[in-house]
Amino acid sequence: MLFEKYDLFKENKYFNQCHAPYIIEMPNRDLFVSFFAGSHEKAKDVGSWVISKNINDEYWSKPRLFLKTETRSMGGGHFFIPPNKQEIWLFFNLMHGRGWSTCNTARYIYDKAGWHKRDYLRKMIGWNTRGKILVLDNGDYLMPMHDEILGYKAYFLISKDSGKHWKAYGPIKTKKGCLEPTVIQLSNGLLYCLLRTKEREIYEVWSKDRGRSWTKPMTTEIPNPDSMIELLYLNESNTIILAYNHSNDKRSPLNVRISQDNAHSWSEPSTLEEGEGEYSYPCMILGSDENIHLVYTSRRKTIGYIKFDRDWLFKK
């Protein structure tokens, strides 16, 4: 049984605050963790930082500033590797005013020429991205988005031509508002999506047409303190993993629970982190080493890292 947990760097050594990590494994088996950091959330000195290591190595690199504009705050940076593995895409939310409702989502592309070609997925402000891009069984790309103009609504951008063009589907709305959707595709082809909501509970929606239409949002009755959640699907065992805060009002504790019957029922929550402060915004992947790698905001001062295996996950 494997369970390892530690902070990726010492707090307050490189910046005052950091938040919203994202983890990906590169084709060379390097683990990249991106996050935004600066004096505080929404400040103009906030940029996209990364820290990395090979999946087999013991030690991580020092955090390094990866991308920063001169006058605008940034947030939500995450990487995507298209199936051809010839490029790496970086998506981030660029703030044009004083809040997330003034953002739009930009993309940088890395190929043999290096990093270049910044474009915008939508010129309209208010749209933010956070969840992983999903490559569907028919080859479509699905990007979860949310809009913060005149309330909180979830959308999905879908590309049928490998990211050249995107079409928006939605919105999905709850009575008080929802945002930061996280989506998986089950082995039966259905899409399952969970939503952070202002109702202080996690809501769910389903799609049977690859994201073009969705069921009415319904509560799972799982608590949510108006904070990000994350889904991961283990196809070979039909296991859904949910990482979230099991609380209606605090971003602590940080928990995981599993479902092995297509989200009809869930296990009791297992605790990853607890205590005073904020342990939030989990992001996780199944690595090539067959372990689950999870990162999260730790007190806004550093990024926490946890690695665990299936034996720990399925422990009785």
With beta carbons less than 8 A apart as the criterion, state whether 54 and 30 touch. yes
Average pLDDT for residues 27-31, to the nearest whole number?
95
Sheet harboring 103-111: ordered strands across? 74-80, 88-95, 103-111, 114-120
Q: pLDDT at position 316, please? A: 53
What are 230-281's pLDDT values in tens digits? 999 999 999 999 999 999 999 999 999 999 999 999 999 999 999 999 999 9
How far, in Å, are 17, 44, 275, 304 from residue 298 at the CA level?
A: 10, 22, 11, 6
Assign 36 to helix, strand or coil. strand
Average pLDDT, the chain: 94
- Per-residue confidence band for 216, with pLDDT thresholds at 50, 70 and 90: very high
Segment 62-90 mean pLDDT: 87
Tokens of 229: 């959640």
Convert the pLDDT of each residue in 30-48 to its tens digit: 999 999 999 999 888 899 9
pLDDT at 125 over 90: no
What mean pLDDT comes out for the span 295-299? 97
In order of start, what are the domains of the chain with their CATH numbers? 3-313 (2.120.10.10)
The pLDDT of residue 143: 96
Q: What pLDDT sits at residue 13? A: 84
Answer whether residue 302 shows pLDDT above 90. yes
Q: Which residues contact 190 (CB under 8 A, 6 or more apart)?
A: 206, 207, 208, 262
Neighbours of 303 (CB within 10 A): 27
- Position 122 scores a pLDDT of 79
pLDDT reported for residue 123 = 76
What is the pTM assigned to this prediction? 0.96
pLDDT score, position 74: 84
Q: What number is the average pLDDT over the span 49-60?
A: 96
**CB-side exposure of 27: number of CA atoms within 13 Å?**
9
Neighbours of 163 (CB within 10 A): 18
199-223 mean pLDDT: 98
The C-alpha atoms of residue 81 and residue 99 are separated, in whole angstroms, by 29
Residue 69 has pLDDT above 90, yes or no: no
What is residue 208's predicted lDDT score, i.e. its pLDDT? 98
pLDDT bucket at 70, cuts 50 / 70 / 90: confident
In this model, does residue 67 exceed pLDDT 90?
no
Radius of gyration of the chain (CA): 18
- b/e per residue, 48-72, with b = 16+ CB within 10 A? bbbbbbebeeeebeebeebbbbeee
Flag whether pLDDT at 79 surpasses 70: yes
Q: Is 170 helix (H, G, I), strand (E, B) or coil?
A: strand
Q: How confident is the model at residue 152 (pLDDT cuts 50, 70, 90)?
A: very high
